[in-house]
């Protein structure tokens, strides 16, 4: 696994991988920026949205520059979003850039995930516990928020192949079906960041959704809305997803065309990447 340094800003980055395709309605807004957009540019696009993006406390999302080490609970990253709507954003930073974009794509889900973190974070930060000792549900939320993707398919059997780790059958033997029956929509901002310098080993933590065929043929904006509604319901329910293993691992570069080498059948024989099941400790 060789990770390359992240590139400086280049407006053509969406063309480097189909993984960025779901971002198209947003990345088009930044295609004319020869240098890094500034925080005011991010806020301007937020202000253009047809409906304000809000937290569950009703606070409108606002882009602010990241500050120093927090001195009390309300200044920590997630609580500050929840209580004030202020999302601390580093300048010239891909990770935070993609974090910002995913709030626009999935506003309901991001707000719910943020709200679920709050009581757990409060217990750790204000009650003298180990700040880094997250609960299983916090770990699951972070894995999905950072490195998650949503797989939607009109054919349940394709989703079953993911659950059963039958990667070659999915990506190679049923390759032609994926174009018409299957979509991988990246949710996690860290996964978008990794796609700038992709490497074998990139694995998304996924939620699998069966959908009607018409959903597959909708525009990205329509698919965002549908996915956001589905995820918001799932996370609000709180019963389906409670720990990291409730997310399905997905070797994302297996998607046809997402790696220049995967047009070769032998690509899918790499069992270090296309594993036959979850690794267990021995």
Question: pLDDT at position 135, please?
Answer: 85
Q: Locate tokens 């580093």: which residue? A: 90
Partnered with residue 210 across adjacent β-strands are 153
Residues 171 and 243 in one domain: yes
Q: Residue 281's pLDDT is what?
A: 42
Q: Residue 71: pLDDT above 80? A: no
Q: Which residue has the higher pLDDT, 207 or 75?
A: 207
Whether residue 193 is found in the same domain as residue 148 = yes
Return the ∠ at Cα 186 (arms to 180 and 190), rounded to 5°.
Answer: 160
Does the structure show a pLDDT above 80 at 101?
Answer: yes
- pLDDT tens readout for residues 203-262: 999 999 999 999 999 999 999 999 999 999 999 988 889 999 999 999 999 999 999 999
pLDDT attached to residue 15: 96
Confidence of residue 41 (pLDDT cuts 50, 70, 90): very high
**Higher pLDDT pick, 136 / 264:** 264
The 10 Å Cβ neighbour count of residue 121 is 20
Q: What is the pLDDT of residues 54-68, one digit of tens each?
A: 999 999 999 999 988
Whether residue 217 is found in the same domain as residue 265 = yes
Q: Note whether residue 1 is domain-resident.
A: no
Lowest mean pLDDT among 131-145, 189-203, 244-258: 131-145
What's the mean pLDDT in 82-107? 97
User: Does the pLDDT at position 9 exceed 70?
Assistant: yes
Average pLDDT of the chain to the nearest whole number: 93
Residue 248: which region, alpha, beta or left (left: phi > 0; alpha: psi -120 to 50)?
beta
Q: Tokens in use for 87?
A: 């999302």
> Domain span at residue 158?
142-269
Domain boundary residue, one of 133, 158, 184? 133
**43 and 72 belong to one structural domain:** yes
Distances (CA, A) of 138 to 129, 167, 222: 15, 29, 29
Residue 276 in any domain: the answer is no
Given this model, what pLDDT does residue 128 score? 63
| Structural domain total, the chain | 2
Is residue 199 located within the same domain as residue 230?
A: yes
120 and 146, same structural domain?
A: no
Residues 263 and 150 in one domain: yes
Are the C-beta atoms of 154 and 215 separated by less than 8 Å?
yes
Q: Is residue 227, in this structure, part of any structural domain at all? A: yes
79 with 152, same domain: the answer is no
Q: Are 185 and 150 in contact (CB under 8 A)?
A: yes
Residue where a domain stops, chosen among 82, 108, 133: 133
Examine the domain organization and report whether 125 and 72 are in the same domain: yes
Answer yes or no: is 82 within a domain. yes
Q: Which residues pair with 132 in a beta bridge?
A: none
* Confidence class for position 280, pLDDT limits 50, 70, 90: very low
Does a structural domain hold residue 60?
yes
**Among candidate residues 125, 149, 112, 131, the one with its CA nearest the CA of residue 234:** 112
**279 domain-assigned:** no
Q: Are 95 and 58 members of one domain?
A: yes
Residue 106 falls inside a structural domain: yes
Q: Which DSSP string corresponds to 237-265?
A: H-SS--SGGGSEEEEGGGSTTSSTTTTSG
| CA count, 13 A, side-chain hemisphere, 81 | 26
**Is 7 inside any structural domain?**
no
Confidence at 3, pLDDT banded by 50, 70, 90: low
Please tell me the distance from the alpha carbon of residue 63 to that of residue 53, in angstroms, as a whole number.
12
Q: Which two tokens stand for residue 129?
A: 């516990």
2/249: higher pLDDT: 249
**pLDDT mean over 5-17:** 96
Q: Which of 89, 110, 133 is the last residue of a domain?
A: 133
In this structure, the number of other CB atoms found within 10 A of the CB of residue 221 comes to 13
Residue 97, CB-side half-sphere exposure with 13 Å CA sphere? 21
- pLDDT for position 2: 53
pLDDT score of 282: 31
What is the rounded CA–CA span in Å between residue 247 and residue 241?
A: 7
| One domain, residues 31 and 104 | yes
Q: Are residues 124 and 201 in the same domain?
A: no
pTM assigned to the model:
0.93
């Amino acid at each position: 696994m060789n990770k390359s340094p992240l590139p400086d800003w280049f407006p053509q980055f969406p063309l480097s991988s189909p993984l960025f395709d779901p971002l198209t309605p947003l990345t088009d807004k930044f295609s004319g920026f020869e240098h890094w957009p500034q925080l005011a540019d991010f806020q301007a696009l937020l202000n253009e949205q047809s409906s304000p993006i809000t937290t569950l406390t009703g606070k409108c999302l606002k882009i602010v520059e990241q500050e120093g080490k927090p001195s009390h609970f309300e200044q920590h990253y997630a609580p500050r979003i929840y209580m004030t709507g202020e999302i601390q954003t580093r300048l010239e930073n891909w990770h935070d850039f993609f974090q910002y974009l995913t709030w626009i794509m999935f506003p309901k889900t991001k707000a719910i995930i943020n709200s679920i973190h709050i009581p757990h974070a409060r217990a750790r930060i204000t009650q003298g516990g180990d700040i880094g000792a997250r609960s299983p549900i916090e770990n699951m939320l972070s894995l999905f928020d950072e490195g998650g993707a949503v797989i939607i398919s009109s054919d349940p059997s394709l989703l079953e192949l993911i659950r059963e780790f039958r990667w070659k059958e999915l990506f190679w033997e049923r390759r032609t079906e994926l174009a018409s029956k299957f979509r991988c929509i990246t949710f996690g901002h860290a996964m978008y960041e990794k796609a700038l310098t992709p490497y074998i080993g990139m694995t998304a933590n996924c939620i699998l959704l069966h959908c009607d065929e018409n959903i597959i043929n909708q525009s990205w904006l329509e698919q965002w809305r549908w996915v956001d509604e589905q995820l918001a319901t799932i996370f609000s329910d709180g019963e389906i997803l409670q720990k990291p293993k409730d997310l399905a691992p997905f070797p994302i570069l297996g998607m046809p065309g997402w790696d220049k080498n995967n047009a070769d059948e032998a690509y899918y024989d790499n069992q270090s990447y296309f594993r036959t099941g979850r690794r267990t400790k021995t």
